[in-house]
């Protein structure tokens, strides 16, 4: 039996840490009346160096929590978890909620705007080794050339230091890799990376004496969520925009970044799923 949803029900979002806040912020911008429930699995961050089986186990437990909160749509706001667990989560949830990931909206954008282009990709080892972007791009058969590179320490460094100049040392090493040269655009295939978007852009300006287009999934995904809610008559246009943030392990960096993203004090609730 299909579950009946209402527009006033919240959107559930989860990620391993602060990266998903980039998506949550974009959602609040594009969908200002929607109620948001965010779960940061800070006890297990980053997901990028975890096994597929581990990520799937985390995802199912988090999804159960979000279903208890009666979310109408659950967004996997993490490329690693989207690659490893989306199909499983979708099957597990069935009709209890709409389910979206952060990969398919980006593939749709590439299909529209990057035919025959050379696109670089940086992401976690889990995302890159899954080859999910390559498979989906190859299926398009539009002559898009993809060059992927695992930049595994970046997510952890961003969690620890935020948008700090210490990140530049990692970028100089990672972005100097031969397969990331002479590209038309760079896909930021980790929701942490938009936090350091300006530093990535500056690196390419210095190296190439020019501008490179950065593909930031946050706004792309937010627009896709809006479209999906509209399609299902679930857009909340009269809501109060209540925001609830849960973490599996309290960290100072998450609290500080949440405040920075939303320009207000954010109350974090410790939700110990694994205690």
pTM: 0.91
- Taking the domains of the chain in order of start, what are their residue ranges? 11-101+221-270, 104-218
Tell whether the model's pLDDT for residue 1 goes beyond 60: no
Confidence category of residue 112, pLDDT binned at 50, 70, 90: very high
167-184 average pLDDT score: 93
- pLDDT given for residue 263 in this prediction: 75
* CA–CA dist 270, 53 (Å, integer): 25
For the stretch 123-175, pLDDT in tens is 999 999 999 999 999 999 999 999 999 998 998 898 888 888 899 999 999 99
- pLDDT given for residue 68 in this prediction: 96
Spot the catalytic one: 78, 89, 180, 258.
78
- pLDDT given for residue 119 in this prediction: 97
Asked if 190 is an active-site residue, the reply is yes
Q: Which CATH number fits domain 104-218: 1.10.10.10, 3.40.47.10, 3.40.50.1860, 1.20.58.1180?
A: 3.40.50.1860
Tell whether the model's pLDDT for residue 19 goes beyond 90: no
Asked if 78 is an active-site residue, the reply is yes
Confidence category of residue 275, pLDDT binned at 50, 70, 90: low
Q: Which CATH number fits domain 11-101+221-270: 3.30.1360.200, 3.30.43.10, 2.40.70.10, 3.40.50.1860?
A: 3.40.50.1860
Spot the catalytic one: 31, 171, 188, 190.
190
- pLDDT given for residue 230 in this prediction: 97
How does the average pLDDT of the chain come out, rounded? 92
Q: Is 44 marked as a binding-site residue?
A: no
Q: Is 16 marked as a binding-site residue?
A: yes
Confidence category of residue 4, pLDDT binned at 50, 70, 90: confident
Which of 110, 186, 190 minimizes the C-alpha distance to 144? Answer: 110
Confidence category of residue 15, pLDDT binned at 50, 70, 90: very high
106-133 average pLDDT score: 96
Q: Is 250 marked as a binding-site residue?
A: no
Q: Is 265 marked as a binding-site residue?
A: no
Q: Is 147 marked as a binding-site residue?
A: no
């Amino acid at each position: 039996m299909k579950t009946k949803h209402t527009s006033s029900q919240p959107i559930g979002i989860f990620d391993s840490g602060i990266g998903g806040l980039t998506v949550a912020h974009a959602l609040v911008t594009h969908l200002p009346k929607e109620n948001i429930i965010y779960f940061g699995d800070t006890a297990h961050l980053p997901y990028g160096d975890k096994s597929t089986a581990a990520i799937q186990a985390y995802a199912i437990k988090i999804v159960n929590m979000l279903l208890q909160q009666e979310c109408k749509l659950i967004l996997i706001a993490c490329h690693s978890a989207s690659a490893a667990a989306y199909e499983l989560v979708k099957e597990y949830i069935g009709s209890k909620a709409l389910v979206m990931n952060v990969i398919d909206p980006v593939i749709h954008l590439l299909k529209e705007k990057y035919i025959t282009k050379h696109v670089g990709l940086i992401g976690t080892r889990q995302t890159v080794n899954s080859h999910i972007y390559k498979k989906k791009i190859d299926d398009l058969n539009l002559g898009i050339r993809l060059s992927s590179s695992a930049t595994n320490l970046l997510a952890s460094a961003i969690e620890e230091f935020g948008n700090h100049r210490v990140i530049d040392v990692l970028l100089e090493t990672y972005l100097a890799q031969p397969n990331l040269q002479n590209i038309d655009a760079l896909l930021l295939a980790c929701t942490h990376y938009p936090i350091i978007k300006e530093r990535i852009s500056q690196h390419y300006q210095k190296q190439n004496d020019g501008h490179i287009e950065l593909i930031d999934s946050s706004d792309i995904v937010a627009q896709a969520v809006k479209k999906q809610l509209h399609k299902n008559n679930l857009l909340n246009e009269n809501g109060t925009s209540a925001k609830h943030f849960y973490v599996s392990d309290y960290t100072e960096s998450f609290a500080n970044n949440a405040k920075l993203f939303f320009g207000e004090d954010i109350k974090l609730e410790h939700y110990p799923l694994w205690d």
